[in-house]
């Protein structure tokens, strides 16, 4: 029967239907997954849509990165943003416009050629639909009313972008590496539209891209099936298909991996990872991610508004112990607001646990006996474990932490209302540019309670006119070297002072069978690429 199962799996049509069935049925098992297929266990119940104009959830962004090519793209070899479907870009002297040249010879999975008209349509569509990620493009000064004038296909190989906001060209290009920079097959999409919706309903569960894979099927909360695109401009993928199976329980992921029913497990806890170390058939690879963990201090609290107190608290976290023992490799110590792997990232981490230094700073600030402090925290791993570790070390200097646990959404709601004293959370950038973080940690143009812009600095009532000005200047700087230097100085300013005790960078631990290779997991969720996967 096992041989029959494998034979059925290798059939092109019925085989994939059968594969979908067994992937969604935990009780069915077999000795090994097919040689030409990678089966991945992952929690994918966050997916709502795979339309690049709307997708904003981690799993959907990852899938889209493998279905679509983007105007700019992430290069795993260099960890940099490089041209994707374009061969080159040229900025005007004042940075008010960009000219993009399309690489010739590219095709969508439909067989239609990829042209400048497809690029222009894709960008215009994002702005016109105005879904959650549209702000990445509308911050250029594009609106529903002007986008057709701002984004123009001059000829089949040339796209002209006008940038009313006068931004650094590198910023604009970095933004075009986000999901909203995905290039759609205009002809295919418009053939599927209903009532002028620009293919919105169809693209929720279908794809029209030119990426390394095409979408065969997506059954929400069960399985996603991707087929290799043999005509992919970057070279045909090494495996014929990838199946992502929804498995939310870490223990189940581990069991399936050890049995050989899946090739890769993506969401296992440190305890499950630890339990695999003795299995010679399994390997674990670690990938630094862009999630930045920090403790935020509300500056409306008089005690926390004192620079000496903020400095003292920086010396009351046992960073390395939390990374090594509490989270068991899931965190790495990183204390700047730009994560490692990001353009302009500063990798200085000067703080460590030093209770005596902290006591002196507290005494000098007028708190020789410390004080009581409430710390809001998500009631899930690893947040509660990290909070308990911070509670223990801060207590050594008289800072009596009361941990206030709650659901993540409750903690964030309280934080957004500036009603916290201290909070433990993480920040994930939206796109691969320094401003994605600087524009929240180091920018606060209006500190009033009814401000329209509410970045992280605002949430902590941190009034910073000088840093705000410097952040805005960096956003407009056209010289790339000078721009990166400006972000380095901004990071140094926040290392020395401010309401953020930036502590860690997330590390993605991925377990896989020894025969699997070529898994790419970059800084952002949409930097997870399947095209180089191998199975020997």
Q: For residue 193, what pLDDT is reported?
A: 96
242 lies in the same domain as 112:
no
171 lies in the same domain as 78:
yes
Q: Model pTM?
A: 0.89
Q: Are 502 and 346 in contact (CB under 8 A)?
A: no
91 lies in the same domain as 141:
yes
Task: Read off the CATH number of the domain in which 191 is found.
Answer: 3.90.76.10
411 lies in the same domain as 306:
yes
For the chain, which residues score pLDDT lower than 70? 1-31
Task: Read off the CATH number of the domain in which 406 is found.
Answer: 3.10.105.10
Q: For residue 1, what pLDDT is reported?
A: 32
Chain CA centroid to CA 279, Å: 31
Q: Are 97 and 160 in contact (CB under 8 A)?
A: yes
345 lies in the same domain as 457:
yes
Each residue of 307-327: pLDDT tens digit?
A: 999 999 999 999 999 999 999
463 lies in the same domain as 373:
yes
Last-in-domain residue among 151, 176, 203: 203
Domain that holds residue 80: 69-203
Q: For residue 12, what pLDDT is reported?
A: 37
Chain CA centroid to CA 51, Å: 17
Last-in-domain residue among 180, 203, 226: 203
295 lies in the same domain as 385:
yes
DSSP 220-280: TTTEEEEEE-TT-TT---SSSEEEEEE---HHHHHHHHHHTS-SEE----HHHHHHTTT-T
Could you tell me which of 13, 74, 50, 45 has the C-alpha nearest to residue 208? Answer: 50
Q: Where are the alpha helices (DSSP H) in 24-90?
A: 58-67
List beta partners, residue 98: 91, 161
How far is the C-alpha of 419 from the C-alpha of 280, rounded, in Å? 50
226 lies in the same domain as 347:
no
Strands of 10-91, DSSP E: 37-42, 72-75, 80-83, 86-91
Last-in-domain residue among 203, 223, 241: 203
115 lies in the same domain as 250:
no
Number of domains the chain is built from: 3
186 lies in the same domain as 82:
yes
How far is the C-alpha of 402 from the C-alpha of 132, rounded, in Å? 36
Q: For residue 33, what pLDDT is reported?
A: 87
93 lies in the same domain as 52:
no
């Amino acid at each position: 029967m096992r041989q029959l199962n494998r034979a059925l799996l290798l059939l092109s049509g019925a085989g994939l239907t059968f594969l979908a069935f067994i992937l969604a049925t935990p009780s069915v098992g077999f000795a090994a997954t097919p040689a030409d297929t990678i089966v991945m266990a992952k929690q994918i119940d966050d997916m709502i849509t795979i339309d690049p104009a709307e997708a904003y959830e981690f799993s959907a962004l990852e899938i889209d990165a493998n279905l679509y090519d983007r105007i700019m793209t992430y290069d795993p070899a260099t960890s940099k943003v490089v041209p994707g479907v374009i061969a080159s870009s040229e900025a005007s002297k004042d940075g008010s416009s960009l000219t993009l040249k399309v690489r010739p010879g590219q095709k969508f999975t439909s067989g239609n050629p990829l042209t400048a008209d497809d690029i222009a349509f894709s960008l215009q569509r994002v702005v016109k639909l105005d879904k959650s990620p549209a702000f990445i493009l509308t911050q250029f000064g594009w609106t529903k009313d002007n986008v057709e004038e701002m984004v123009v296909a001059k000829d089949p190989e040339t796209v002209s972008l006008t940038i009313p906001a006068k931004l650094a060209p590198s910023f604009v290009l970095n933004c075009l590496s986000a999901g909203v920079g995905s290039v759609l097959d205009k002809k295919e999409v418009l053939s599927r539209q209903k009532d002028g919706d620009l293919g919105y309903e169809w693209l929720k569960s279908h794809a029209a891209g030119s990426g390394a894979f095409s979408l065969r099927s997506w059954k929400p909360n069960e399985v996603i099936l991707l087929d290799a695109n043999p005509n992919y401009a970057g070279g045909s993928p090494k495996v014929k298909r990838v199946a992502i199976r929804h498995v939310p329980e870490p223990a189940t992921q581990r069991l399936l991996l050890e049995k050989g029913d899946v090739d890769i497990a993506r969401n296992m806890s440190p305890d499950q990872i630890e339990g695999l170390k003795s299995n010679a058939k399994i390997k674990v690879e670690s990938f630094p991610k862009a999630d930045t963990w920090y403790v935020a201090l509300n500056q409306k609290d008089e005690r926390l508004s004192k620079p000496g107190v903020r400095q003292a608290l920086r010396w009351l976290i046992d960073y390395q112990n939390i990374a090594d023992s509490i989270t068991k490799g899931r965190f790495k110590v990183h204390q700047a607001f730009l994560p490692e792997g990001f353009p302009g990232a500063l990798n200085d981490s000067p703080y460590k646990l030093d209770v005596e230094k902290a006591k002196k700073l507290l005494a000098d600030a007028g708190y020789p006996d410390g004080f009581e402090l409430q710390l809001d925290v998500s009631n899930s791993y690893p947040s509660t474990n990290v909070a308990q570790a911070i509670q223990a070390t801060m207590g050594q200097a008289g800072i009596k932490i009361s941990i206030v646990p709650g659901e993540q959404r409750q903690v964030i709601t309280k934080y957004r209302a500036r009603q916290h004293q201290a909070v433990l959370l993480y920040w994930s950038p939206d796109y691969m540019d320094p401003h994605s973080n600087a524009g929240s940690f180091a920018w606060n143009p209006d500190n009033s309670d009814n401000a329209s812009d509410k970045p992280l600095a605002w949430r902590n009532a941190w009034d910073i006119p000088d840093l705000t000005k410097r952040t805005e200047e960096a956003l407009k700087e056209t010289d790339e070297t000078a721009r990166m230097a400006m972000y380095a100085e901004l990071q140094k300013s926040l290392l020395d002072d401010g309401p953020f005790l930036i502590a860690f960078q997330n590390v993605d631990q991925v377990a896989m069978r020894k025969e699997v290779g070529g898994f790419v997991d970059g800084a952002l969720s949409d930097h997870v690429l399947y095209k180089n996967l191998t199975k020997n």
